[in-house]
Homo-oligomer: A and B are copies of this chain.
Amino acid sequence: MVYFDAASGAPLHPVARQALVASLDEGWADPARLYKEGRRARLLLDAAREAAAEAVGCRADELTFTASGTRAVHTGIAGALAGRRRVGDHLIVSAVEHSSVLHSAEAHEAAGGSVTRVPVDRGGRADAASYAGALRADTALACLQSANHEVGTEQPVAEAAEVCRAAGVPLLVDAAQSLGWGPVAGDWSLLTASAHKWGGPPGVGLLAVRKGVRFAVRGPADERESGRAAGFENIPAIVAAAASLRAVRAEAAAQAVRLRELTELIRARVPELVPDVEVVGDPVRRLPGIVTFSCLYVDGEALLHELDREGFAVSSGSSCTSGTLTPSHVLRAMGVLSEGNVRVSLPAGTSAPDVERFLAVLPGAVAGVREKLGAPAPRAAVRRAELVLDALGKRCPVPVIELAKVIGEVPVGGTVRVLADDAAARLDIPAWCEMRGQEYVGEEPADEGAAYVVRRLS
C-alpha cells in the first residue's frame, strides 16, 4: 500500500516511536508529585516543552500541550474570545479554515457572537487586505491558517498578523499543516498545531498563547497545563511529539525539495493524462507535499475505491465521499469543481517510482468510474433553442454528466435549464461551464431544487 494521505495524518516518525517507547518507562508518573518518579516525569515534560517551544518560536511558558490539534483550536478560540469579551464579540475567520475553526465559529454564533468569513481567491488564498477590511471596533479575534489542508495553498499570515496587530486584534494561526516544515512567520498572537500531522503520535496538540494576549480559560478549572488543558498529561506522547518535531525540522529543507519536485510532476502530468481535470490550489505559494485535482464526470468516492484497489491511499474533498454529502467547504469557497476530487499528500520519503506508478494507474481508474457512470460521448441530436434537463433527485456528479450529454442538443446560443436539487450542482455546473467554455447564465428558483441556466457558446 502506498500512502499518499499525509495531510490527514502522517505515519509515526521513527524518532517519535523511539521516544514514545522509551518514555513509557520514564514518564508514566504524575508530574505534580514530589517523589522521584514524579520529578522525573516533570523533567521530561519540561524538556519537551522547551524543545517544542523552540520549534514553534515562543517561550516555554507560552506553550500548552493539549490532547489534539482540534482541542487546541477549540480552547484557543474560546479562550481568546472570552479574554476580549469586553472589546466585543466579533470573530474573523477565512472561509477555508479547518472544520475545528469553522465549528468554533458556529458555536460562537450560536452563543450570540458575530462572525465574518473572509473569502478566498480561486487558488484558495485569502488576502491580508480582506482581513484589514473585515476588522471592526468590536473584533475580538481573527483566525487564519498557515496553509490549507485540502489544497496546500499557503496563506499570507505574516501580512494578516501585521494588519491585526495594527488594529490591536490578536491573530490565531492554525499551523497544523505547516509546523513540520518550519516556524510560522510574522507577529502572530496564538498558534495551534497537531503532532500527528508531522509524524508525531496521536493525542498531542499544541496551543501557544503569547504573553500579553488576553486569555480566559472556559469550562471547569484544572491545575494542569496552566489551566489550559484539563486532565492528566500524556507525557510519553508529549515527549515523542517534541522529539519528532525536532527530527522532522532537521529533514525539512531536503524533503521539501524532493516533495515539491514530485508534486510539480503530478500537477503537470495529471491534466495531460486525464481529460477534463482541473488542478486546484495556488500553483506557487503552496506546501511542498500536497496537490489536489478534480475530475469531471467522476464520483469521488468511487475513484477513491478504484485507487485503493490499485494500492494507493488518497483523500477527497468531493461531495460524494463524506457521509453528509456536502461538497467540501474549501472547494466551494474557491469556486472550483468539487466532483471527482482527489487530494494527494505525500509523506516524507515518498519515492519517485511510487508517484510514477500512481500517474500510470490514475487514467484507467478515472476512465473506469466514468464508464460506469455513463459519462458523455458526442452524439447527434435534435436541436432545440432551449432544453430542460430534469436532474431532480440525482446526485453529484450525475447532473453534470447529463448536462454534458445534452449541451450538444441545443444550437450555439441556445440554453439548457438544469433542474437539480443536489447541493453540489450549484458549485459544479458553473465550474463545468468555466472548464468547457460555456456560459453560466445563473440560477433561478424552481418548484423543486433550483434551475441552473447554461448557454451553449461552442
Contacts and interface: CB of A to CB of B under 8 A. Distances in A.
Given A106-B221, A220-B103, A202 B37 contact: no
Contact of A71 (B17, B25, B67, B205): B67
Interface in A90-121: 99-100, 103-104, 106-107
Nearest to A67: B67
B11 A28 contact: yes
A236 B202 contact: yes
A235 B9 CA distance: 12
Interface stretch (A135-143, A177-185, A301-309): A301-309
A29 B6 CA distance: 9
Interface string A220-237: 111100000011111111
A34 interface: yes
Interface string A64-78: 000111110010001
A70 B20 contact: no
A316 to B, nearest CB: 9
Contact of A107 (B69, B103, B104, B220): B220
Sorting the interface of chain A by its residue count into under 10, 10 to 19, 20 to 34 or 35 or more gives 35 or more
Interface string A175-217: 0000000000000000000101000011101000000000000
B234 A202 contact: yes
A239 to B, nearest CB: 11
A33 B9 CA distance: 11
Contacts of A313: 29, 33, 35-38
What number of copies of this chain does the assembly contain?
2
Contacts of A69: 231-232
A440 interface: no
Given A37-B3, A221-B103, A71 B9 contact: no
A244 interface: no
B21 A33 contact: no
Contacts of A12: 24-25, 28
B34 A74 contact: no
A80 to B, nearest CB: 14
A219 interface: yes
A30 interface: yes
A8 interface: yes
A448 to B, nearest CB: 29
A34 B315 CA distance: 8
A71 B8 contact: no
B234 A34 contact: no
B232 A9 contact: yes
Contacts of A290: none
A1 interface: yes
A5 interface: yes
26 contacts: A1-B35, A1-B36, A1-B37, A5-B33, A11-B29, A17-B24, A20-B24, A33-B315, A34-B301, A35-B307, A35-B308, A35-B313, A67-B68, A68-B230, A68-B234, A70-B230, A70-B231, A74-B220, A100-B230, A103-B220, A103-B222, A106-B220, A106-B221, A202-B234, A202-B236, A205-B231
Instruction: For the complex of A and B, list the 8 residue pairs with the smallest distance between their C-beta atoms, beginning with the closest.
Output: A68-B231, A67-B67, A70-B231, A35-B313, A203-B234, A103-B220, A202-B234, A203-B203
